[in-house]
Structure 1
Amino acid sequence: MILSKKVRLYPSKLQEQKLWQSVGTARFIYNWTIERQEENYKNGGKFISNENLRKELTILKTNELCWLNEVSNNVAKQAVKDACNAYTRFFKGLSNKPKFKTRRKSKKSFYHDNVKLKVEEGNLVKIEKIGWIKTNEQLPIEVKYTNPRISYDNKYWYISVGIEKEEMQIELTDVSLGVDLGLKELAVCSDGTIYKNINKTCVVKKIEKKLKRLQRQISRKYEKNKQGKEYVKTKNIIKLEKQIQQVHRKLANIRNNYLHQTTTNIVRTKPYRVVIEDLNVKGMMKNKHLSDAIRKQCFYEFRRQLEYKCKFRGIELIVADRFYPSSKTCSQCTRVKTDLKLKDRIYKCNYCGFTIDRDLNASINLSKYKLA
Structure 2
Amino acid sequence: MWECQWLLAWFVAMVRFTTFRFCLDPTVEQVGVLERHVGASRFAYNQSLRLVLDARQAWKRDPATKVPWTGFDLIKTFNRWKASEAAGRVFNVDPSGEVEVVQTGLVWRREVYQQVFEEAAVDLGRGLAAWSESRRGERAGSPVGHPRFKKKSSARPSFRIRNQFPKSGRPAIRLGDEHPRTVRIPGVGNLRVREDTRRLRRMVGKGRARILFATVSRGRGRWWVSLNVEAADLHPGRRYPEGQASGPWVGVDLGLKALAVAARSDGTEVDRIEEWPRTLTVTARRGRWLHRAVTRKRKGSKNRRAAADRLNKYYFRTAEIRRRHAHEVSNRLVKTHDRLVIEDLNVAGMLERSPHLAKAIHDVGWGIIRRQLAYKQAWRGGELVVVDRWFPSSKTCSACGSVQHMGGVAVRTYDCRSCGLVIDRDRNAAANLAAWAEAHHGADAQARDRQAEGPVTNAHRWERPGRRLRDGETVPDDVGTGGRAPAA
- Interval of TM-score (by shorter of Structure 1 and Structure 2): 0.7 to 0.9
Q: In the alignment, which of 149, 153, 162 is matched to residue 113 of structure 1?
A: 162
Partner of 1:93: 140
Residue 192 of structure 2 corresponds to which residue in structure 1?
134
- Please list the CA deviations of residues 73-102 of structure 1 after superposition, one character each: whole Å capped at 9, or x if unmatched: 212211222232234344223453255444
Give, in whole Å, the separation in 2 of the partners of 1:349 and 1:36.
66
> Is 1:341 aligned with 2:407?
yes
Out of 345, 366, 390, the residue aligned to residue 279 of structure 1 is 345
The worse-fitting range, judged by mean Cα deviation, of 295-304 and 72-81 is: 295-304
Residues 41, 341 of structure 1: CA spacing in aligned structure 2 closer, same or farther, 3 A cutoff? farther
Q: Give aligned-pair identity as a percent.
A: 29
- Gaps of at least 5 residues in structure 2 are 1-15, 88-105, 134-138, 165-171, 264-268, 440-488
Asked if 2 retains the 8 angstrom alpha-carbon contact of 1:154 and 1:246, the reply is yes
Q: Residue 352 of structure 1 aligns to which amino acid in structure 2?
A: C
Alpha-carbon spacing, 1:296–1:340, altered in 2? closer, same or farther (3 Å): same
Larger Rg, first or second structure (1 or 2): 2
Alpha carbons 1:61, 1:69 under 8 Å: kept: no
Match of 1:3 among 15, 18, 23: 18
- Measured after TM superposition, the shift of residue 105 of structure 1 is 4.6
Q: CA deviation at 1:69?
A: 3.2
TM-score (normalised: structure 2): 0.66
Change (3 A) 1:5 1:238: closer
Give 1:260 shift: 0.9
Q: Quick one: structure 1 residues 206 and 303, their matched pair in 2 at CA, closer, same or farther if it must change by over 3 Å?
A: closer
Three-state SS of the structure 2 residue aligned to 1:185 is coil
Q: How far did residue 268 of structure 1 move?
A: 1.6
**Which structure 2 residues correspond to residues 349-368 of structure 1 after superposition, within 5 A?**
349-368=416-435
1:319–1:105 Cα change, 3 Å: farther
Comparing 122-131 with 92-101, which one deviates more in the overlay? 92-101
Summarize deviations over 1:89-137 as a string: whole Å, max 9, x none.
4422345325544445544332112112133453232211111223343
Which segments of 5 or more consecutive residues in structure 1 lack a partner in the other structure?
A: 223-230
Q: Is the 8 A contact 2:249 2:437 kept in 1?
A: no
Letter in 2 for 1:169: R
Aligned residue for 2:330, secondary structure, equals helix
Aligned-partner Cα distance in 2 for 1:288–1:37 = 45
Q: Distance in 2 between matches of 1:98 and 1:187?
A: 40
Q: Closer, same or farther in 2 for the Cα pair 1:151/1:177, shift >3 Å?
A: farther
Task: Report what 1:72 is aligned to.
Answer: 113
Measure the CA separation in 1 of the matches of 2:416 and 2:49.
55
DSSP-derived class of the 1:369 partner: helix
Distance 1:8 1:239, change over 3 A: closer
**Which of the residues 280, 297, 307 maps onto 1:221?**
297
Q: Distance in 2 between matches of 1:365 and 1:104?
A: 50
- 1:1-372 equivalences under 5 Å are 1-34=16-49, 36-37=51-52, 48-63=69-84, 64=87, 65-90=106-131, 91=133, 92-94=139-141, 96-97=144-145, 99-100=147-148, 101-115=150-164, 116-121=172-177, 122-123=179-180, 124-135=182-193, 136-138=195-197, 139-140=200-201, 141-142=204-205, 143=207, 144-161=210-227, 162-167=229-234, 168-171=238-241, 174-190=247-263, 191-196=269-274, 198=276, 200=278, 204-222=280-298, 231-233=299-301, 235-269=302-336, 271-287=337-353, 289=355, 290-337=357-404, 339-343=405-409, 344-372=411-439
What is the rounded CA distance, in whole Å, between the counterparts of 1:178 and 1:36 in structure 2? 53
Residues 132 and 268 of structure 1: is their aligned pair in 2 closer, same or farther, counting only changes over 3 Å?
A: same
Distance 1:112 1:361, change over 3 A: same
Matches of 1:315 and 1:41, distance apart in 2? 49
RMSD between aligned residues = 2.8
User: Are the equivalent residues in 1 in contact too, given 2:183–2:191 (CA < 8 A)?
Assistant: yes
Q: 1:103 to 1:326 in 2, by over 3 A?
A: farther
Structure 1 residues 155 and 220, CA gap change in structure 2 (3 angstroms): closer
SS of the residue 1:145 aligns to: strand
Distance 1:22 1:208, change over 3 A: farther
Relative distance call for 1:192 and 1:154 in structure 2 (3 A) is: same
- CA gap of 1:238–1:274, structure 2 versus 1, over 3 A, is same
Query: Quick one: distance in 1 between partners of 2:176 and 2:318?
Result: 34
